[in-house]
């Protein structure tokens, strides 16, 4: 199912801020002495050196044939949608704990998990479930009653864990900035194609406009999986957690943190599809660092990507 097949009925219209309003919001935030991650600001101000794509693609495949991979996982390997969602969500949650330790995020405030109506929203629900179990404080935005049993099961589990829900996005982005220290973006996934449908345009616009740090699951919302981002509005998250294998579009993802999670593809399947798997390292490695801002690190002599603890 496409990530835009269902949509939010109650999405508030897109609210735009003037630069003066944004400055005022920043001043208010500073005066409140609330801890806030600042990865986005650093990324925007620094001149990012364009990475040599060849260096990264020599270490693992950045895939375009995503449908074929998922057909193999659900066909030859016999995995169900429920298994994929659980594995992807748990892997994303474990990677998240490395990027944003619970104690630091607790000082910043709750995380808002924005889940869309498709499979990427399912990963978001599963990720939220495990983050709650891990002790994170969070709120779920899930605008529509799910159609698939797998989504309904995850939604029910999140409700049983007493995760609070939002049925619509606040009309003012300053409300997001006041109430949340981080946003997890699971709105659209690898099936997304431009343009954004009108009934989710307001939600997407708020994600683009907010200064709250964002971590995207698998593909940043609004990006098509096989090409660089385009369009008048572009989401530029602070972190990306790719699932199973990174998508081709993420070669354009020049930020501080890009993790690969979801160690699920067998070597035999990778060989059949002509895919290059990363070197996961030890048996208990659940995620590894993928993006390398430092060009000397990207061109290093290591034969595989090494699992690294976030410092």
Range of the domain at 190: 52-279+286-291
DSSP 183: E
Q: What is the pTM of this model?
A: 0.75
What is the bridge-based pairing of β-strands 257-261 and 287-289? antiparallel
Q: Examine residue 296 and state whether it is found in any structural domain, yes or no.
A: no
Token look-up 């949650």 returns 93
- Which pLDDT score is estimated for 289? 61
Q: Examine residue 306 and state whether it is found in any structural domain, yes or no.
A: no
- Round the average pLDDT of the chain to a whole number and report it: 74
Residue 16 CA, distance from chain mean position: 23
Q: Examine residue 62 and state whether it is found in any structural domain, yes or no.
A: yes
How far apart are alpha carbons 178 and 170 in whole angstroms? 11
Q: Is the pLDDT of residue 39 over 70?
A: no
Q: Is the pLDDT of residue 158 over 90?
A: yes
Q: Examine residue 29 and state whether it is found in any structural domain, yes or no.
A: no
Q: Examine residue 7 and state whether it is found in any structural domain, yes or no.
A: no
- Which pLDDT score is estimated for 285? 55
Q: Examine residue 18 and state whether it is found in any structural domain, yes or no.
A: no
Confidence label for 129 from pLDDT (cuts 50, 70 and 90):
very high
Q: Examine residue 241 and state whether it is found in any structural domain, yes or no.
A: yes
Q: Which of 119, 295, 114 is nearest to 215 (CA)?
A: 114
> What's the number of domains the chain is made of?
1
Q: Examine residue 309 and state whether it is found in any structural domain, yes or no.
A: no
- Which pLDDT score is estimated for 82? 96
> Which CATH number is 186's domain given?
3.40.50.10260
């Amino acid at each position: 199912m496409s990530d835009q097949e269902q949509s939010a009925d109650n999405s508030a219209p897109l609210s735009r801020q003037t630069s003066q309003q944004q400055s005022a919001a920043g001043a208010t935030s500073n005066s409140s002495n609330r801890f806030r991650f600042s990865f986005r600001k650093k990324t925007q101000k620094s001149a990012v050196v364009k990475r040599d794509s060849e260096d990264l693609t020599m270490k693992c495949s950045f895939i375009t044939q995503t449908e074929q991979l998922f057909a193999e996982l659900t066909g030859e390997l016999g995995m169900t949608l429920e298994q994929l969602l659980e594995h992807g969500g748990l892997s994303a949650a474990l990677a998240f704990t490395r990027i944003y330790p619970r104690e630091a995020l607790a000082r910043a405030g709750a995380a808002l998990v924005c889940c869309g109506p498709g499979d990427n929203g399912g990963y978001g629900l599963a990720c939220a479930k495990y983050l709650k179990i891990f002790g994170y404080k969070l709120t779920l935005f899930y605008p529509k009653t799910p159609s698939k049993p797998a989504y309904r099961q995850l939604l029910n589990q999140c409700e049983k864990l007493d995760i609070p829900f939002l049925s619509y996005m606040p009309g003012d982005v300053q409300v997001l900035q006041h109430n949340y220290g981080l946003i997890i973006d699971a709105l659209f996934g690898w099936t997304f194609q431009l343009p954004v449908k009108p009934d989710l345009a307001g939600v997407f616009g708020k994600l683009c406009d907010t200064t709250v740090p964002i971590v995207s699951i698998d593909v940043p919302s609004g990006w098509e999986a096989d090409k660089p981002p385009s369009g008048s509005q572009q989401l530029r998250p602070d972190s990306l957690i790719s699932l199973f294998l990174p998508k081709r579009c993420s070669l354009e993802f020049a930020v501080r943190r890009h993790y690969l999670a979801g160690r699920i593809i067998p070597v035999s399947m990778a060989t059949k599809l002509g895919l290059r798997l990363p070197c996961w390292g030890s048996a208990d490695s659940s995620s590894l660092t993928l993006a390398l801002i430092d060009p000397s690190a990207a061109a290093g002599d290591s034969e595989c990507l090494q699992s690294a603890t976030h410092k």
